[in-house]
Amino acid sequence: MSIDDRPALTERQIELLRLLFSMSTSTNVFTAKKGQGELAKEIGLTRQALNIHLRRLREERMIRTGRGFIDLTEKGLQALGVGTAEAFVFMKIQPSKREHVYEKIRKLPALSVFRVTGEIDLIAQVPQSQLDGFLESVSNIDGVISTSSHVVISIIK
């Protein structure tokens, strides 16, 4: 979004956003973009029965709902045994095979992949739950010299 595309906000609104940002924590959000009618049909419930279950999950703060979407919260993911932490995979790439490696890496499930300067060539940001599969895929790419994985323990800013 360019500066010209940003909405015009008052100083108080900017102050509020800064305060909320300073108080917030970074989270991954998993969103199911389905209406309740469609979801009810998929799992074989009436819409009324589905609403009873969704209400309970909302009360337990395991989901957030809105028009056409349901967000799984961190508490909901924990109930499923799904980790929400992120991992960073540092990769050293053989210079003559960079383009080949970049092409293969682009197809893998990563939140972001950064080309960087220094001792390593790429940094991939991957959900911890997908780290093993990501590393297995990377190990099969010709031109990847080495990897180093780092799982986020906590976010301090």
Sequence ranges of the domains in the chain: 30-80, 86-151
Identical topology for domains 30-80 and 86-151: no
- Name which CATH class applies to 30-80: mainly alpha
pTM of the model: 0.54
Residue ranges of alpha helices (H) inside 9-157 are 11-23, 36-43, 47-59, 74-80, 98-106, 131-139
DSSP three-state, residue 42? helix
Report whether pLDDT(23) > 70: no
3-state secondary structure of 135: helix
pLDDT digits (tens, 9 = 90+) for 26-78: 565 678 888 888 888 988 989 999 999 999 999 998 888 888 888 888 778 77
For the domain bounded by 86-151, which CATH number is listed?
Answer: 3.30.70.920
Q: CB of 138 within 8 A of CB of 107?
A: no
What's the confidence (pLDDT) of residue 1?
A: 44
